[in-house]
Structure 1
Amino acid sequence: MMFASFNSSGGKLKISNPEYSDFGPNTALMQSFAVGHNFPTEYPHFSGDRIRYHFLFYFQAGNLEFLGLDPAWSLNLLSITTLVAMLIVVMTLGEMLFNSRTVGRLGSLLFFFFGSLSYVPFLHKQVSIRAAIEAIKHRGDFLPSIFPYRGEQWGTWSQVTYLNQRHFASAIGIFMLVLVFLVIQYRARAARRINTNRSKGHFINDVAAWLRRGARMFLPLTSRRHSAVATMSPSHEIVPNDTLSPEPDALTETSPSAMSDRSQVGGYNYRLSDDATPAENPAEPETEVTPPPPLTEVKPQTMVRAESFRATVPGFIFSGVLLGLIPMWNSALFIAAAAVLGVLFILFPLRLQMLALAITAGLIALPQMLYLGTGSGRAPMPRLFHWGYMVDQPTAMNVAKYLGFTFGFKWLLIALALIFASWFQRRLFLAALSLLGVAFCFQFTIEVLANQKFLHSWVIIANLFVAFALWRLWRLSLGGTTLPGKFVATALFLLIIPGGVIDFFPIHNTGWSEVQYQNDPLIDWLKKNTKPRDIFLTDRFVTHPILMAGRRVLYGWPYYGWSAGYDASKHDRLYAELFEGKDPWKVYHLLKDNGIKYVVYDNAVRQGQFIKRPNEQLYATYFPKVFEDSRYNGLVIYKVPDTSPPKLNALPEGVTNMFEGGKGAGKGEFDSPTGIAVDPSGNILVADTNNGRIEKFSSTGAFLSIIGMKGSGHGQLGEPNGIAVDRAGNIYVAEVGSNHRVQKLAPDGTFIAEW
């Protein structure tokens, strides 16, 4: 999976087409750490502000590349390791929760089969089974769903999420590891309660035996012997009912040795009784009476709880440390963990320990969340509560339809699992169910794909309940045979897996996009002649040799900045002004204010749709050219000097022309111009109506002068509307608004007359 979507050969990265766009920021981050110097860390596609993207996974991949691996091996080795580790932890969670290795392994296997019904419309379109097989074998796209929502058409409910977001599996693994720890702790608490109750039972039995022996002292010897037989019959039973423990049916694959002592297996109701026989307990001599054990042997419950808290809290604190480190790995998973653990806090005991976990995690995570979520360059965030954020027209029916299609037949198996499950397991499922509430009720970012992470996290836990239901059905006996249960379990399993099977083929069938990362003249020049922290003004691209050299760009592919929470519209305006502005002085100072060291022009800028009137002549005139190579789409690099060029200082600030000025009150700018004329010399006069003036330009459009100023006096203009010029160059201006007059002005703007 990993190498099929991201590989390298001959100094080029080979990126699978469906994942190409997602690897833009990921590879740029890796290279910024491996061959650049991205400390303090900034987003390579949106430089000049703190990073707002969970980057620590790619920091680790960059370290591996720095140590000698190529980028593909660095990322894939880390991706495979963390994915396998996550599956092992999920397997462990299933075994601990249901006491069955089969459930754990099957639940881990179901990770590869999301369960969506997307395969149904796909298969319905096929004319025959043979045609369906051929279509599956040659399929190049992941199965789309029936919904028009974002991500649904490119197969977000498939393995593509884990191929694109390589950091996702590691964060889920940490979260699952904490859940394993909590399940162990809840089981251990149940065992401690059982042991405490058993100790109390032994004490009561000892006291009863002592009383019986004392009573026999006052009986004749023969009567004592007969009474011993009667009193040695079971006299007391202790039946702990630990609600934290699963019922016997939920505990499976237990060894015979463990079955022989039910008190050692959390969840088994067991009986302790005094069932000794006279032969095992001969009558004691009449003169010896063993005193009862002192009452102080049973420790107060408060002391037991205090000792339990001190013994267990270190593990909870360490779990809090693990969760606290998640935000810069994947912030959505930290929110998911907080939601699930919040419900566990309500439904389960050990609340003091859980509070210690929460405080630890919060202290570590809060600075990270503030760093990622604040700053001057952050885009305004929408309201936090947003019912139905993931669907349009979020009625209860539409949400149910969406969830029903997305998880398909898994819902039926989950319902069966909850019937078979113990109260302990049901409560844990309720805690996991909070993730659906978070996904549909809250909006943490402007990108809806972030909320889909909550559903991906939920289904991993839900898979364990699906596996439990399949396992119970497989072993279910009806009329002395298990064949009906096996048949139903097999049928349901086969209804779950088709979508996952079909989606394995696009991983290998799609083409590659290649990106050079070494043995490249431009990359070699960048590494030799520029500094790792330098910022470039370039075309807005997904990947580029500049990013592969570990450098940063002012504004890369706009989606990356927008989805990460940056104010992309602000950079749109700045980007256009730097590539279209005709005022050298202003452009130079904008470059310096934004820390830009190099300006890169290529045909994508010259002929692109975003930049309408490129100003390359300005850079060619005032900035030194330091690199040029037509092999890179006509690429030219200009260096921004540390101090302004001498000839740039001599230029008046704000000089422009009539074609580039735009709206405003500066030189060459307009506000609702409504009249235009040409004088005998070919100069162009424009009635700048709302600014109350006339602007004069040369025949080529260069700014020359301003005639008049806003007012009602002679030579002043209210709202000049119409304009004409006679053979002598005199100017006639018709004013609307408050003045309602026509003025005659000399060519230089001197007042002559009015009507």
Structure 2
Amino acid sequence: MLAFIYLAIMWALGDSLCRRFYSFVTLPHRLAASFLVGLLLSSWATYLGALAVGRNSASPLLWSNLLFFIAAVALILRLRRHAPGEPAARATPDAHHAKANRWDWAFIGLFFVFSWWMMFSSFNMEKGRLQIANHQWSDFGATVSIMQSFALGHNFPTEYPHFSGDRIRYHFLFYFQAGNLEYLGLNPAWSNNLLSVLSLVSMLVLVMTLGTLLFRSRAVGRVGAALFFFHGSLSYLPFLIKHGSLTGALAAAAKSQDFLPSGFPYRGEEWGVWSLVNFINQRHFASAIGILLLAVVFLVARARPSPPPDGAEAPSPDEMRGEFEAEPSGVGDTAALARPLTDRLRPYAGFIFTGALLGLLPMWNSAVFVAAFAVLALLFLLFPLKRQMLALALTTAALALPQVVYLRTGNMREAGYSLFHWGYTLDNPTFANVLKYLGFTFGFKWLLIAFALYLGTRLQRSVMLAASGLIAVAFLFRFSDEVLANHKFLNMWLIVANLFVGYGLWRLWHTLIAGSRVPGKVAAAALAALVTFGGVLDLFPIRNSYFVEIPFEGDRLVGWVREQTNPRAIFLTDRFVTHRIMLAGRHVFHGWPYFTWSAGHLTPERDVIYKRMFEERNPQRLLSLLRENNISYVAIDNGVRRGGFIKNVNEAVYEKYFAKVFQDTENEYDALSIYKVAAGTVTQMPPASAADSPADEPSPINAFEGGRGKGRGQFDGPRGIALSDAGQLYVADTANSRIQMFTMEGEFVGLLGKTGTGEGELREPNGMAFDAAGDIYVADALNHRVIKFKADGTYQEQWAGPEPGFYGPRDIAVGPDKHIYVVDQGRARIVKLSGGGKTLAEWGKQGSGDGEFYEPTAVAVDGQRVYVADANNTRIQVFDTSGKFVAKWDVEEWRRAGVLHYHYPDLILDSAARRLYVSSIFTDEVLVYDLDGNKVGTLRPAAPDKFEGPTAMTTSKEGHLYVLNFHGVRVSKIDPGQK
């Protein structure tokens, strides 16, 4: 209930302020402006209040909300008392305006329903379990942790929950407000989604308003706003060609969980970067764009000529005019200097207020602030009212500069890039390639934009020119390590461009051709279909997405963290995207590094400290490290134990010298143990005993015993195994950049090759295969080549693959035809080579269609068929030996709790038994398929042995199956005939 009261006061505050400075075209315009202004200002006010008391209060949100309620209500009452007199009652709207209003509300209703579906289909809460859609797991999952750090934690002064001990460098205020609403009583999904839905609908209302003002047609505003949901990319053309017909394409799209790939080989083009997923992932994006549109609407209203006579589709200004919305024509007159100061400032008031709103954007959404700077700089050159716009700019700069300095200075990594960067993500950004990219990405919308500009007025062209500055920003500058982030500027440009597309359609619909409107209507309908069809297809992946569920309410670990730990506590954990510890509002010392790296944090330096705290064996030094980094609790689970990032986990030291305060005895949380960092002094901790040192621990040399390390017989991240006809077992010790050789009984024999980048040297050996002569072929993923060694282990030759060369070759197989088949994972293709390295065939590309791959990991070949493990599409694809697609088999075991992870399943054929063995790292078993694609069983070793992350496999002449355990860093041997 308190959350809804807060929202009502927030909205009322926004309305009271907007009525002082703005006039409104329609009632929806007023409501949208009031919501966005109220949201921005209330978030800032509540946050600053919490920040002010946060150092000395255990409940900063309690006091900041109380202060906000008091101050906001007082300000609303004061503004209402001093509001300008109510105008005379307006006459009942005529039939034309009443019909236009009904159409406006109908479109807004549709926008609301569609936005509700988008947000709740990607983030929900049901039966106490948080549900995050698979497409949103990574980016959105991280922002949920920010929200929870305010709702259930104590994040004042504010830090990034994934990188404790340093100030936040991410625009976080939207998620602060979502967390605040959760604190006031809503559940996490409702608090986030309610703000997201209202923000998106408000943004679309302002698009409608801008279209109404700019083109003097409400129809154009409605169509332009509706086009937001349809990106216009031509990516549907290859999709249609591939499926042969419209019905085939629609049937395939109806089942698809992947957005349309553009076909360009650039970063992000497979992720749906032009789809609605951006606004689902980045919930703070729409509200910030709404503030920018509010500013543009204000400026266009001040710059446009007098409104036309009333008409069914013309603007109908609201009867409410802002107190400070006086005409600025007197500015500059000598007589004006004799007027009172308030009268002289009156023409500037709306501009100053608008500048203040824009100046508050850097910590709301930095990209939109940069966009606002670019757009308003061009509007300054193109529009009149230079003095007023200068006042707007100065106000913006005064408020924004401290935020920019805060976000971009301090303990940051030196930028490894130049601010000026030509080409966006394009590999070869010639002018022709840029035009080709933009032409394909926005398709037939360009024709309608050109038509609209041809018919447009000077004001309309000026607005389009100012908006098009965002294309220049996207292709000329770089603001972070991740240049793909510039897509936001193109997303914003498209929102304005859609109004011109809508205007082009509207004019075409009403165009007389040879005395008839029918040709124009047909052309408009055809173009409307062409610019929306790709967007329609990209709605299906949202509908078909599946939830990753995380128990939250009533969960034992969440409850323990909330009840037993301080809200300011910092945990040393695995490097999570999100986790119950973070959902309970606590910070982790070092979370998933992509987000912190892209924000400029010193991620590599933290890696070093992080590893030391999980590997240090001296208790005194360990406690000192933990204290220096303000660690309160250490959480060790199988992700730490088996993840490969930590080489020799010091869990035994924590077990011996630290109090274990939480034990996952039922393996609900990946065998989690939590240790509390002692409150005593470092000197009270005993020095290390001999038993604590790994140096005295014997290194196993038998492959079946294994162990993580660099010793002979130890492994680190092993990913390949093969058995020679001579009976020697070869293991690709991938992270140690070597291949180890063993007897069939697992006794260490020797090493093959040496580490390096030179000819015949190894950096990341993966799959291996033998030919009939006993020569061994090795796929070296990091050196991007296939290396051939003779049977005696001497280097013979190496191949870089067909153009543009191998990129992360992952597996290799030699077929009965003596040809070599290579999984070129980075290029999402299969390459078929002769024994001498000549390319015979290649097939595949990135995608989810038949014959397309998403992180393929393994290949197996019999006389007629080629079987490929298409890992992240969770299927096996079958081809003939020339690459023609034959069949596909779903492998549900390759999904883990609905999330796709990087993993390396392998395939091994037993042609005699007509069986295909398939490793499944997530279920710790080997799956057995017949060659028709039917799953006929599963294999596990006999107790006490067990699989621990089975990955690569090989078979012996006797029929035994040798399985490499990625997590267990050892080899298992089983008889496929066992039950």
TM-score scaled by length of structure 1 = 0.71
* 8 Å CA contact 2:415, 2:481 repeated in 1: no
* 8 Å CA contact 2:620, 2:683 repeated in 1: no
CA-atom RMSD in angstroms: 2.5
Letter in 2 for 1:434: G
Q: 2:558 aligned with 1:523, yes or no?
A: yes
Report the secondary structure of 2:165's partner residue: strand
Q: Which residue of 2 aligns with 1:97?
A: 214
Q: Which residue of 2 aligns with 1:696?
A: none
Q: CA deviation at 1:561?
A: 1.1
Q: Which residue of 1 aligns with 2:124?
A: 7
Select 1:437's aligned residue among 450, 455, 472: 472
Report how many aligned residue pairs link the two structures: 562
Select 1:343's aligned residue among 378, 386, 397: 378
Letter in 2 for 1:600: A
* 8 Å CA contact 2:619, 2:686 repeated in 1: no
Q: Which residue of 1 aligns with 2:437?
A: 402
Within-5 A mapping of 1:489-528: 489-528=524-563
Q: CA deviation at 1:566?
A: 1.4
Out of 551-560 and 573-582, give the one that drifted further.
573-582
Q: CA deviation at 1:75?
A: 0.8
Letter in 2 for 1:67: L
* 8 Å CA contact 1:53, 1:328 repeated in 2: yes
Q: Which residue of 1 aligns with 2:678?
A: 641
Q: CA deviation at 1:150?
A: 2.0
Q: 2:348 aligned with 1:317, yes or no?
A: no
Alignment deviations for residues 415-466 of structure 1 (CA, whole Å, 9 cap, x no partner) = 1111000112111111111101100111111112321100000000101111
Q: CA deviation at 1:372?
A: 1.2
For structure 1, the residue ranges without an aligned partner over 5 or more in a row are: 192-244, 258-297, 661-755
Select 1:174's aligned residue among 280, 291, 299: 291
Change (3 A) 1:517 1:377: farther
Q: 2:640 aligned with 1:605, yes or no?
A: yes
Q: 2:454 aligned with 1:423, yes or no?
A: no
Distance 2:614 2:203 in 1: 47
* 8 Å CA contact 2:159, 2:168 repeated in 1: yes
Q: CA deviation at 1:563?
A: 2.0
Q: CA deviation at 1:474?
A: 0.9
Distance 2:650 2:316 in 1: 83
Change (3 A) 1:379 1:602: farther
Q: CA deviation at 1:656?
A: 6.0
Report the secondary structure of 2:514's partner residue: coil
Q: CA deviation at 1:381?
A: 4.8
Change (3 A) 1:460 1:160: same
Q: 2:418 aligned with 1:383, yes or no?
A: yes
Q: 2:659 aligned with 1:624, yes or no?
A: yes
Report the secondary structure of 1:596's partner residue: coil
Distance 1:629 1:490 in 2: 61
Change (3 A) 1:165 1:255: closer
Q: Which residue of 1 aligns with 2:223?
A: 106
Q: Which residue of 2 aligns with 1:680?
A: none
* 8 Å CA contact 2:160, 2:170 repeated in 1: yes
Alignment deviations for residues 110-153 of structure 1 (CA, whole Å, 9 cap, x no partner) = 00011111111111110333322211211111112112222210
**Structure number with higher helix proportion:** 1
Letter in 1 for 2:333: T
Letter in 2 for 1:321: A
Out of 166-175 and 483-492, give the one that drifted further.
483-492
* 8 Å CA contact 1:33, 1:63 repeated in 2: yes
Letter in 2 for 1:607: R
Alignment deviations for residues 370-426 of structure 1 (CA, whole Å, 9 cap, x no partner) = 111112144535211111132111110111111111111111111111100011211
Report the secondary structure of 2:685's partner residue: helix
Change (3 A) 1:299 1:355: closer
Change (3 A) 1:333 1:301: closer
Change (3 A) 1:430 1:615: same
Change (3 A) 1:354 1:309: farther
Within-5 A mapping of 1:14-163: 14-163=131-280
Distance 1:546 1:254 in 2: 55
Q: 2:358 aligned with 1:302, yes or no?
A: no
* 8 Å CA contact 1:409, 1:496 repeated in 2: yes
Select 2:620's aligned residue among 585, 592, 596: 585
Select 2:576's aligned residue among 541, 544, 547: 541
Alignment deviations for residues 458-502 of structure 1 (CA, whole Å, 9 cap, x no partner) = 000101111111111111112321111111111111100011111
Report the secondary structure of 1:510's partner residue: coil
Report the secondary structure of 1:617's partner residue: helix
Alignment deviations for residues 642-694 of structure 1 (CA, whole Å, 9 cap, x no partner) = 333655355699x966589xxxxxxxxxxxxxxxxxxxxxxxxxxxxxxxxxx
Distance 1:65 1:520 in 2: 18
Alignment deviations for residues 74-132 of structure 1 (CA, whole Å, 9 cap, x no partner) = 11111000000000011000100111101111100000011111111111110333322
Change (3 A) 1:315 1:515: same
Out of 555-564 and 177-186, give the one that drifted further.
555-564
Q: Which residue of 2 aligns with 1:558?
A: 593
Change (3 A) 1:401 1:304: farther
Distance 2:663 2:217 in 1: 65
Out of 377-386 and 90-99, give the one that drifted further.
377-386
Letter in 1 for 2:573: T
Q: Which residue of 1 aligns with 2:727?
A: none
* 8 Å CA contact 2:202, 2:290 repeated in 1: yes
TM-score scaled by length of structure 2 = 0.55
For structure 2, the residue ranges without an aligned partner over 5 or more in a row are: 1-117, 318-328, 698-979
Percent same amino acid among aligned pairs? 55
Distance 1:255 1:163 in 2: 31
Q: Which residue of 2 aligns with 1:694?
A: none
Change (3 A) 1:594 1:408: same
* 8 Å CA contact 1:108, 1:463 repeated in 2: yes
* 8 Å CA contact 1:143, 1:153 repeated in 2: yes
Instruction: Report the structure number with the largest CA radius of gyration.
Output: 1
Q: CA deviation at 1:627?
A: 1.1
Q: CA deviation at 1:305?
A: 8.0
Change (3 A) 1:299 1:350: closer
Letter in 2 for 1:491: A
Change (3 A) 1:304 1:392: farther
Distance 2:267 2:172 in 1: 24
* 8 Å CA contact 1:14, 1:512 repeated in 2: yes
Q: CA deviation at 1:180?
A: 0.3
* 8 Å CA contact 1:516, 1:548 repeated in 2: no
Change (3 A) 1:185 1:561: same
Distance 2:583 2:662 in 1: 17
Q: Which residue of 2 aligns with 1:707?
A: none
Alignment deviations for residues 731-752 of structure 1 (CA, whole Å, 9 cap, x no partner) = xxxxxxxxxxxxxxxxxxxxxx
Letter in 1 for 2:299: L
Kindly indicate whether structure 1 or structure 2 has the higher relative contact order, using CA contacts under 8 Å at least 6 residues apart.
1
Q: CA deviation at 1:72?
A: 0.7
Change (3 A) 1:494 1:659: farther
Letter in 1 for 2:670: N
Distance 2:330 2:125 in 1: 66
Q: Which residue of 2 aligns with 1:453?
A: 488
Q: Which residue of 2 aligns with 1:738?
A: none
Alignment deviations for residues 702-746 of structure 1 (CA, whole Å, 9 cap, x no partner) = xxxxxxxxxxxxxxxxxxxxxxxxxxxxxxxxxxxxxxxxxxxxx
* 8 Å CA contact 1:5, 1:16 repeated in 2: yes
